[in-house]
Structure 1
Amino acid sequence: MRRTLFLLIFGLAGLGVLLWLGVWQVQRLAWKQGVLAEIESRISADPIALPPQVSEAVDKYRPVIVSGEMESGEIHVLVSVKQVGAGYRIIQPFSTEGRTILVDRGFVPTTAKQAERLAGPMEVTGNLHWPDEIDSYTPAPDIDDNIWFARDVPNLAAALGAEPVLLIARSQTDPNVTPLPVDTAGIPNDHLQYAITWFGLALVWAAMTGYFLWRSGARTESEAQ
């Protein structure tokens, strides 16, 4: 009897913890979906003129439209695009209203790394962004071959003589450069998978608890005989 009671208490406690973790992940899923919806709404809003002062805390994902001149000089950030393969993001300085910012023009394949691109006066529509792409495993840029491995905005700005303000173009700035607009695809949202995992473990735990209780009861009956 004591053994059966212990198994019941242990089984119910474990089941309760696993179910709680599953419910918590469902709650986190609802929260994350709300965050993503807010970001998507911000990304798709009507563009405005570039504010005189910008900051990551206030202006991340803000859609803006700028008129000015695409200057010479560019940085190539190594990237891979689904169903296309490896290539580079083209980052260039852009002069507008007496200031110079960075523009991420989009993607070119590796074979177009050294190709000439349109420069001069143009209008660019896109979203301000401060990508979080650097961790302890990110290699330092290969300055000699002009290959960078992350969009490190402060260092990009220093290398190109611009403000640490990055505009990700969603409009075409060159017929041979494919824009890679800001979206929420790169923001992880694995809470549904986690919830399914915890509920699945809870189901297995309940089945195993039932099995051990049955075996304990059968053993008790056998011992009683």
Structure 2
Amino acid sequence: MKRIIAPLLFGLIGAAILVSLGTWQMQRLEWKRGILSKIESTISGDPIALPQLISPSEQEYMPVRLTGQIGDQALFVLVSAKRVGAGWRVISPMTTVEGRRILLDRGFTPVENKTAPPRAEQITLLGNLHWPDDRNSSTPENDVAKNTWFARDIAQMAELLDTEPLLVIAREIAPPDPGLTLLPVDTAGIPNDHLQYAITWFSLAVVWLLMTGALIWRRSKED
């Protein structure tokens, strides 16, 4: 009996730790689902006018409706779209009827089509405010000279295009932007891997208990 007490305690304590980690991940899963639900509700909410005071933490994904003109300039951000492949996000300045000049993410064009159709007419759009976090430790620096951007660095883009440091991602544009496919904001790019982590921890707990049981059985046979 003494030979199995130590592995039994070790097995039970280890399994309890693994189960607690799995339970914590399940709690994180519910927390993340709540956040994603709130973001989706914000994205699809009733649009408002462009806010005068900017607060990224409070206004992220806020829907806005704007009327104005798109400028002739365009910046091209290298991205990859599902089922399409590499291409460019097209960022242009937009001057609203109220006289504000902001950054507008007009959508996607294939990588071989590094052009942005000029828009002389007035347009109306529905979009969402966004402060993207595109850059990480492996993201190259933007090649401004060649107009090849690897991250939507709002401050740098705003300075270059002489706009407010404010980006709107288009969801609807009327009349539509010819040659461009809209890439509206959504929650698809926000990771939610907590269920997989929970399954991993719970599976490890089962394996731990099976190994403990095997060890105890072997020791019992040695007596």
Q: Among 174, 179, 184, which residue is 1:181 paired with?
A: 184
Q: C-alpha deviations, 1:151-184, integer Å up to 9, x for none?
A: 1111111111101100000013412111100000
Report the AA paired with residue 109 of structure 2: V
Compute the RMSD of aligned alpha carbons.
Answer: 1.1
State whether residues 22 and 199 of structure 1, in contact with CA within 8 Å, keep that contact through their aligned partners in structure 2.
yes
Q: C-alpha deviations, 1:69-105, integer Å up to 9, x for none?
A: 1111110000000100100000000011121000000
Which sections of structure 2, spanning at least 5 residues, go unmatched? none
Q: Normalized against structure 1, the TM-score is what?
A: 0.95
Match in the other structure for 2:122: 121
Q: Normalized against structure 2, the TM-score is what?
A: 0.95
Residue aligned with 2:69, SS: strand
Match in the other structure for 1:164: 165
Q: C-alpha deviations, 1:9-62, integer Å up to 9, x for none?
A: 100010000000111111100110011000000000011111112220111100
Match in the other structure for 1:64: 64
Tell me by how many angstroms 1:144 deviates.
2.3
Percent identical residues: 54
State whether residues 26 and 195 of structure 1, in contact with CA within 8 Å, keep that contact through their aligned partners in structure 2.
yes
Match in the other structure for 2:199: 196
For the pair shown, the structure with the greater C-alpha radius of gyration is 1
Q: C-alpha deviations, 1:185-211, integer Å up to 9, x for none?
A: 000000000001011111111111111
State whether residues 90 and 116 of structure 2, in contact with CA within 8 Å, keep that contact through their aligned partners in structure 1.
no
1:1-225 to 2 correspondences below 5 Å: 1-96=1-96, 97-172=98-173, 173-220=176-223
Task: Give every structure 1 segment of 4 or more consecutive aligned residues whose post-TM-superposition deviation is greater than 3 Å.
Answer: none
State whether residues 71 and 118 of structure 2, in contact with CA within 8 Å, keep that contact through their aligned partners in structure 1.
no
User: Kindly tell me: are residues 65 and 107 of structure 1, through their superposed partners in 2, closer, same or farther at Cα, counting changes over 3 Å?
Assistant: same
State whether residues 71 and 120 of structure 1, in contact with CA within 8 Å, keep that contact through their aligned partners in structure 2.
no
Tell me by how many angstroms 1:3 deviates.
2.8
May I ask how many residue pairs the two structures share in their alignment? 220
Which sections of structure 1, spanning at least 5 residues, go unmatched? 221-225
Residue aligned with 1:126, SS: strand
Report the AA paired with residue 160 of structure 1: L
Match in the other structure for 1:223: none
Residue aligned with 2:172, SS: coil
State whether residues 69 and 119 of structure 2, in contact with CA within 8 Å, keep that contact through their aligned partners in structure 1.
no
Residue aligned with 2:118, SS: coil
Tell me by how many angstroms 1:115 deviates.
5.0
Tell me by how many angstroms 1:136 deviates.
2.0
Cα distance in 1 for residues equivalent to 2:188 and 2:110: 21
